[in-house]
Chains A and B, each alone.
Chain A
Amino acid sequence: MSANQLFLAKLDEAARWAQSSSVWPLTMGLACCAIEMMVIPAPQYDISRIGSEVFRSSPRQADLMIVSGRVSHKMAPIVRRLYEQMAEPKWVISMGACASSGGVFDNYAILQGVDQVIPVDVYVPGCPPTPDGLIYAINLIQQQIRTGGRGGILARA
């Protein structure tokens, strides 16, 4: 392996380490799952230890969109617009049954899964999932960043 390739590989690894240790979520709290999402910075669960306690309200500053709650047809274009406003690289967790597949609401008002409007990386089952489940999902995102997938020095999808 040439010296250049080795250097870039190590740089990429460093970049991925930095990105995975500071995944900043976007406050996309919609419904009941948002309450469970809100308690993860609290002392009981504390995602500060994995670097994600900084919930950004502005999509420009966030890496991770946690779609927590049921997405109605009225809200869907707004979720899509916020996803587009996020800068690359970005990841999406679909938290809860409603965001993953429509959940208990198979009706006229609810999008049957937020993956109909944005691509999702990790789905978390539950209604609502316990905060432990969400933390595990963030851990999976970190794993995805560190071991291939989007991110690194190229930072493109």
Chain B
Amino acid sequence: MADRSFQTVSTAVDPTAVRQPIDDVDEIVRTTAGQLLEVLARLKSQGYAQLTDVGGVDYLERSPRFDVVYHLTALPTRASGVADVGRPKRARVLCGVDDGAAVPSAVRLWPNADWPEREVFDLFGITFGDHPDLRRIQMPADWEGHPLRKDYPLRGPARDRTPRPPFANKENVGSRVPPTGEVAERLRQEIFERMRGERSGESEATS
């Protein structure tokens, strides 16, 4: 009873691979900042009427460093009942961005891209070209730094606050950047083996 998703390789961790979806979205596209608007416009014309979310991920030691992740949903734009809505298609667009590079803004395609792009700028420092109002949204206007970057300390830059006991250790950066390709696959298999082995109490070969 092989779970087919064992063979998947995640696009998140390996920017060069487009993988089989693990059933969460119907279409995954990896692109660069130069082709982003073209890809998004194409998807919009194919029926993806709603921009569900725009988010950022910092991969730190990967090149390109950041990913701006767009989730799209193909909703009907007229009043429709449950049967007409059916099961809308979903798409994910991953755009790799280097530190300091800019990404075109999707605000002309979907007006609700305004705030999430401001948030990605605020928390990651990724600028969006021709965004109508690119300023900080979550942090105070005079804040320095972009908090959700992996090299930004969790507790903020050094400031006057209560000291913590030495055993409460919270280092900020995870010890490993997400592995890619073969290494990721091997790690996945290792974890699944362990889960299955512990469950049945004996080691069994992957089927």
Given contacts A73-B140, A74-B139, A74-B140, contact A107 B154 (CB under 8 A): yes
State how many angstroms separate the Cβ of B178 from the closest Cβ of chain A.
22
With A and B bound together, what is the CA distance between A112 and B159 in angstroms?
11
B155 & A107 in contact (Cβ 8 Å cutoff): yes
A106 & B155 in contact (Cβ 8 Å cutoff): yes
Chain B residues 105-160 with CB under 8 Å of chain A are 139-140, 143, 147, 152-157
Q: Does B170 contact A (CB under 8 A)?
A: yes
Residues of chain A within 8 A (CB-CB) of B156 are 107-109
Chain A residues 53-82 with CB under 8 Å of chain B are 73-74
B154 & A108 in contact (Cβ 8 Å cutoff): yes
> What is the size category of the interface that chain A forms with chain B?
10 to 19
Partner of B152, one of A106, A108, A113: A108
State how many angstroms separate the Cβ of B58 from the closest Cβ of chain A.
15
For chain B, the count of residues having a C-beta within 8 Å of the partner chain is 14
B147 & A112 in contact (Cβ 8 Å cutoff): no
With A and B bound together, what is the CA distance between A27 and B164 in angstroms?
32
Nearest opposing residue in chain B for A108, CB measure: B156
A109 & B162 in contact (Cβ 8 Å cutoff): no
Q: Does B87 contact A (CB under 8 A)?
A: no
Residues of chain B within 8 A (CB-CB) of A109 are 139, 147, 156
With A and B bound together, what is the CA distance between A101 and B161 in angstroms?
11
A108 & B170 in contact (Cβ 8 Å cutoff): no
Residues of chain A within 8 A (CB-CB) of B152 are 108
State how many angstroms separate the Cβ of A30 from the closest Cβ of chain B.
15
With A and B bound together, what is the CA distance between A74 and B147 in angstroms?
14
With A and B bound together, what is the CA distance between A92 and B164 in angstroms?
26
With A and B bound together, what is the CA distance between A31 and B172 in angstroms?
26
B residues engaging A (CB < 8 A)?
139-140, 143, 147, 152-157, 161-162, 164, 170
The 6 A-B pairs of least Cβ separation, nearest first, read A108-B156, A74-B140, A112-B161, A108-B147, A107-B154, A112-B162
26 contacts between A and B (CB under 8 A): A73-B139, A73-B140, A73-B143, A74-B139, A74-B140, A101-B162, A106-B154, A106-B155, A106-B164, A106-B170, A107-B154, A107-B155, A107-B156, A108-B147, A108-B152, A108-B153, A108-B154, A108-B156, A108-B157, A109-B139, A109-B147, A109-B156, A112-B161, A112-B162, A113-B162, A116-B161
